[in-house]
Chains A and B, each alone.
Chain A
Amino acid sequence: MTAASESGSAGAGASPVTPSQTVGPFFGYALPYEAGPEVVPGWRPDAIRVRGRVLDGAGEPVPDALLEIWQADETGEIPRRPGGLARAGHDFSGFGRCGTDPDGGFWFTTVKPGPIGAAAPYIAVLVFARGLLKHVFTRLYFPEDAAAHAADPLLGDVPDERRATLIAEREGERRYRFDIHLQGERETVFLGF
């Protein structure tokens, strides 16, 4: 967030960016909502289920984290319509939110996004938590897309030994697991946005 944007808009009159602060431990009654993890209802035949845990540098669960996901639909189209809060009807809003449970666990039901351009299909993932003074930004890729991963521009920028942290594990038919290690030997790759 340091460099001026390519648009050159950060010239005269540019305002300094508001600093981030931690989400703290007490967001649980304010930010999560019941339908938050259900980007699409789990009963839909094309629904996938993603689950995982958020872990700290000692491998302990992070029970006060909040995850947000944002993604294209199954055809690779980025949704431009509301509905992420209300989940009314069958519109796909592309947004999901889930707080972690006492074991650091989270889950989402959604659809697998289609590819966009040269990028392999992925879901954008944000993690907020007590102890994170600024959220972290990552991507969830799917294990069956190995060929596309080889050509993916972002994965090409990631050191080989860390690439696996961005790829979910297959747990069954349309079921995936994606653990997030904030720190430690298997620290997830986080993006500098």
Chain B
Amino acid sequence: MDKAEASPHPPYLYPGYKSTVLRAPAQELIMPKLGPDSVELTSPVFGHQELGRRDFDLTVQHPGEPLGERIIVTGRVLDTAGRPVRNALVEVWQANAAGRYPHLGDLHPAPLDPNFTGAGRCLTGDDGRYRFITIKPGAYPWGNHHNAWRPAHIHYSVFGTAFTQRLVTQMYFPGDPLFAYDPIFQSIPGEKDREKLIARFDMDTTEPEWALGYQWDIVLGDTPTEAR
């Protein structure tokens, strides 16, 4: 990897996404000469006993089945050398099939689904793999600009082996016509980097007569001094 390569992350200030204007830090970030410290180079540890056994299945949290297209989303959490990150806590949340969140602030006039909350979590296995069963989320409008619509996405929160690797991001679905119009997706400067957020439809993950399958790997940033 070229050392001069630009960061894959969006800049803090991206005026096309209005909320960044008053929230983006304006001062240079400070990089301590010694790099991150021992606390920052470690991460909280989470255990299976802290999670519900079915927390990975967003379709079984209510008495009935949610409406929408049932999907399996799976992939690995890796470091930049391709090594699996084991026991990583992966949390997801998303809109329902109609594009509505069960959140008081969501004013989109689309129906709530009494059988779908849209939050799940799991720990990665020894191969770094996570797996969720859910419903394909719908696109939804937001007030950022005239006729603004978010492409369908699942929010992800991931812990690595260092607090400096903490990642919150969004996974998108292939071929979404809204990519070109979405300032949040477009805030990522590099086209190849943007593509890293798009899951791949996978027939091998798809289960006959039951659910479509998507694969999406997550690569966490280097721990600056690889404290292993």
Contact = CB atoms under 8 A, between A and B. Distances in A.
Are A and B part of the same complex?
A: yes
B37 interface: yes
Which label, helix, strand, loop or mixed, suits the secondary structure of the A interface? loop
A27 to B, nearest CB: 6
Given A16-B192, A153-B32, A154-B30, 17 more contacts: A1-B9, A7-B226, A19-B194, A20-B9, A28-B105, A29-B118, A56-B22, A62-B23, A78-B39, A82-B45, A84-B44, A131-B20, A132-B20, A133-B187, A154-B32, A182-B24, A192-B31
Given A5-B80, A16-B193, A133 B10 contact: yes
B192 to A, nearest CB: 7
B219 A191 contact: no
Among B24, B26, B49, the one with the most A-chain Cβ atoms within 10 Å of its Cβ is B24
A109 interface: no
22 contacts: A2-B3, A5-B80, A9-B81, A9-B226, A10-B80, A16-B8, A16-B219, A17-B8, A17-B219, A18-B219, A19-B8, A19-B9, A20-B167, A26-B95, A26-B105, A31-B93, A78-B42, A116-B38, A131-B22, A133-B187, A157-B30, A182-B24
Interface residues of A, number: 84
A16 B24 CA distance: 24
B117 interface: yes
Contacts of B46: 82, 84-85
A153 B163 contact: no
A119 interface: yes
B163 A21 contact: no
Interface string A6-41: 110111011111111111111111110000000000
Contacts of A157: 30-33
A29 B169 contact: no
Contacts of A193: 31, 36, 40, 164, 224
A191 B163 CA distance: 12
A63 B189 CA distance: 28
Given A93-B45, A133-B9, A15 B80 contact: yes
A190 B24 CA distance: 11
Contacts of B180: none
Given A18-B197, A193-B164, A1 B221 contact: yes
B85 to A, nearest CB: 12
Contacts of A130: 19, 23
B168 to A, nearest CB: 5
Interface in B95-134: 95, 101-103, 105-106, 117-119
B5 interface: yes
B26 A57 contact: yes
A4 interface: yes
Interface string A58-100: 1010101000101110000011111111101000011100000
B143 to A, nearest CB: 10
A146 interface: no
A82 B87 CA distance: 11
